[in-house]
A = this chain, B = another copy of it.
Amino acid sequence: MSRPLPWSVEPWGVGLEGLDTERLAHRESVFALSNGHLGWRGNLDEGEPCGNAGSYLNGVFEEHPMPYAESGFGYPEHGQSVINIPDGAVIRCFVDDEPLDVRRGTVRLHRQRLDFRRGVLERELEWTTPAGRSVRIESTRMVSLEHRSIGAVRLVVEAVDRPITLTVQSELIANSPLPEVHPDDRVMEALRTPLEAVSHDVVDGRASLVHRTRRSGVGVAVSMDHRATAPRGVHTETEASGDLARTTMIASLGAGDRFELVKFVGHEWSAESSPATLRDRADAAVAEADLLGWDGLVAAQRARLDEFWTCADVEVEGPLRLQQAVRFALFHIFQSAARADLRPVPGKGLSGAGYAGHTFWDFEAFVLPVLTATAPDAAREGLRWRHATLAHARRRARELHLAGAAFAWRTVDGRESSGYWPASTNAFHLDADIAAAVVHYVRATGDRAFERDAGLELLVETARLWVALGRWDDSGGFHVDGVTGPDEYSAIVDDNAFTNLMAQLNLTAAADAVRRYPAEAIALGVGDAEVEEWSAIAIAMTVPIDQRRRIPEQAAGYNAAERWHFEQTASSEYPLQEHFPYFDLYRKQVVKQADLVLALHFRHDAFTFEEKAGAFAYAESLTVRDSSLSAGPQAVIAEEVGHLGLAADYLAEAATIDLDDVRGDAEDGLHLASLAGIWTALVAGFGGLRDSDEGLRFAPRLPDAIGRLAFGVKVGGETLRLEIRPDATTYRLAGGDPITLHHFGERFELAAGPGWRMPTPPMADPGPRPTQPPGREPRSFDAAFGS
């Protein structure tokens, strides 16, 4: 881990002074803007210098061949990768004849700041050309949360002390280079210039480019228009060719004069629509934005975020960096999903090309719970996206000789794009993670229309997978053999506890849903015998137990395997997967990331407190946290079993992963699931939030370092907010019918109104703090936050 960038520490934004041109890529990820449809990385307006150029449309990808040294049956033949769409954020300036480039001349001031409430990225720059002309530049950039297609930039250039001629080139640039998302040359070759120019137009100064991806055949249209003013007028010209559209504006500025520009960029894509249709839609979006004007867009952005924060905000009395981190996380999660109509949130959101822009189980298992609690409409769209990929998932299940649906482990459009089956195809728990997300979303929202139209089919088709995948033993037990659970340092195991327990939930939920929608179930071909089979399997599902220690174990026989030689492993040998072969990791007890611990969280109803405490302590002794997904769930269970200090340490780790670039790969984009882990550690951890059929359960308890914690969750469309202090918690419901809640197991009804205060019960002694493998302890809360 290199020295963290000197982020500003503030409650409602994150900023950076100065300009370390060696570390631009990290900054670009942190300052990325998105609305779930469109994503713009925080590249400098002038395009260069640049870490990784990034402008994305969620769902736009290119296909590439999948290379194998030795192929096998069922291996995907084609992969998918996010690509750069024509970049509309670029605005280059020339002061007299000197191009604005921060590597030349003198930078007197450089400041960027992402504002969580206004949803804009601001930049201030004071720059003197090598010839001694000084300008002051302010830019404000947004990706509209209200208008799906729209990105916009406002640029102000002021001649500081001497007259200048200012030339501004505002552009759309296609085929910007993609970073190395795949190590294979042949793959990168397919991704080098994926866009083929289809048409370009300039009408009344509005320019548009239409492209099509060469292999995947996706059409992309980007249009732009401008409003520019300067005291002595602006000379404007617009031109377009295949891969470039450019509006050139020239203005003479006297000392103190200001050139003001607003740029509106519209983005549309489709695999079906004609180029002309796409262009017209992008043009229409630009025209609408132009009509609203910059101020209108800014106001709508603020309103949309105000609405979000009303419920979603998490207030933490503690280190300001923690307060900042949770809002940073919520902002990025929200903007990654806000307008993701029928789209998922990829592993990196739209903040970078890491993981080739693929969506993983991270989405349903880590990100969706946050969205369900804070922006349930966005959660619904993500689940509808999975539903829309059902045809691919059914085909994949048939290919594998299974039934129902086998969803893609990593994908852009729903087709499997993974190249190492033991840690992808084999991780069938994804099906149950999707089912659990459906259950969770419907419980939280009461959205019966969704449940009937999409949820039911997801539950039924995933349940069918488990019937085909598992087997009965002679004594009436049901087993799922030879699959891979969440922990990627194990693979091809029998009866992974997480998988089996999630499958159990899946089967039970499918049976329940069929009973609620009998007509729709018949249309899906579900008969009584099938539902009975699901229920029988759910009851008979095997959960492996370490009989000697009297705790559940990660998989059948797991706790009897050889223990990893932690004592002989140097800290430079982590992450282990980069220094040891899979065969050695797989056969030994070493846990990359929460697996059984995730089961203790997601299936909190399936274990006693003692089982949880014992299993957690055992898992802790083996868990090396070589995955960014792990700290959040570990915090949750540490809290539940009473180790509040340990929980705080894991919270702190989750909270610093992206801002401090703990893993050294934030340049490829933010870790959305890890950001979700900050919220989860606070809300499910210290808030004790658990989902159940009988209403939400809470068990709020604060660690020493946090004096007060307040957060909101959406329940049936209304906002429930909790304010937690060490001695008591106040529950407030903003409106609607009374709801049933549980406080440390005590059930109560909460009506809309001033709130209800419940005291915090005393805590039993949790015993000694669990220990981790040497050197793999979390950074302490105090060290992480420098308090």
Contact = CB atoms under 8 A, between A and B. Distances in A.
Interface in A158-209: 183-186
A353 B465 CA distance: 42
Given A70-B418, A583-B426, A186 B183 contact: no
A79 interface: yes
Contact of A67 (B68, B492, B587): B68
B419 A483 contact: no
7 contacts: A65-B185, A66-B69, A68-B184, A69-B76, A72-B420, A185-B186, A481-B561
A586 B492 CA distance: 9
A401 interface: yes
Interface residues of A, number: 46
A471 interface: yes
Given A68-B68, A401-B584, A578 B481 contact: no
A464 to B, nearest CB: 16
Interface in A59-99: 65-76, 79
A75 B492 CA distance: 19
A72 B400 contact: no
Contacts of A481: 561-562, 587-588
Interface string A400-436: 1100000000000000001111100110000000000
Contacts of A494: 587
A609 interface: no
A482 interface: yes
Contacts of A71: 183
Given A67-B69, A400-B581, 5 more contacts: A69-B76, A400-B584, A425-B581, A426-B583, A482-B583
| Residue from A70, A74, A582, A588 whose CB has the most chain B CB atoms within 10 Å | A70
| Residue from A79, A400, A561, A587 whose CB has the most chain B CB atoms within 10 Å | A587
A612 to B, nearest CB: 27
Contacts of A581: 72-74, 400-401, 421, 425
A483 B494 CA distance: 16
Contact of A73 (B79, B183, B482, B582): B582
B578 A73 contact: yes
Nearest to A480: B587
Nearest to A423: B70
Interface in A480-495: 481-483, 491-492, 494
Given A492-B492, A587-B481, A579 B73 contact: yes
A517 interface: no
A740 to B, nearest CB: 43
A580 interface: yes
A599 to B, nearest CB: 21
A71 to B, nearest CB: 6
A419 B73 contact: no
Contacts of A72: 420, 577, 581-582
| Residue from A74, A418, A577 whose CB has the most chain B CB atoms within 10 Å | A74
A73 B577 contact: yes
Rank and list the top 4 A-B pairs by shortest CB-CB distance, nearest first. A69-B419, A482-B587, A67-B67, A74-B581
Contact of A68 (B419, B492, B577): B419
B586 A482 contact: yes
A72 B74 CA distance: 20
Contacts of A79: 69
Contacts of A580: 73-74, 401
Nearest to A484: B583
A577 B421 CA distance: 14
A280 to B, nearest CB: 39
Nearest to A586: B482
A320 B433 CA distance: 64
A68 B418 CA distance: 11
A562 B473 CA distance: 9
A581 B401 CA distance: 8
Contacts of A587: 481-482, 492, 494
Contacts of A425: 581, 583
A77 to B, nearest CB: 10
| Residue from A421, A471, A583 whose CB has the most chain B CB atoms within 10 Å | A583
A185 to B, nearest CB: 7
A421 B422 CA distance: 11
A587 B496 CA distance: 14
Given A401-B584, A587-B482, A471 B562 contact: yes
A494 B580 CA distance: 19
A186 B70 CA distance: 13
Contacts of A420: 69-70, 72
A420 B422 CA distance: 11
A395 to B, nearest CB: 14
A67 B186 contact: yes
Contacts of A68: 67-69, 183-184, 419
Nearest to A481: B587
A192 to B, nearest CB: 15
A133 B69 CA distance: 52
Contact of A583 (B69, B186, B419, B492): B492
A70 B76 CA distance: 12
A23 B562 CA distance: 54
Interface in A92-119: none
Contacts of A65: 185
A41 to B, nearest CB: 25
A688 B76 CA distance: 48
A664 to B, nearest CB: 17
A452 B560 CA distance: 41
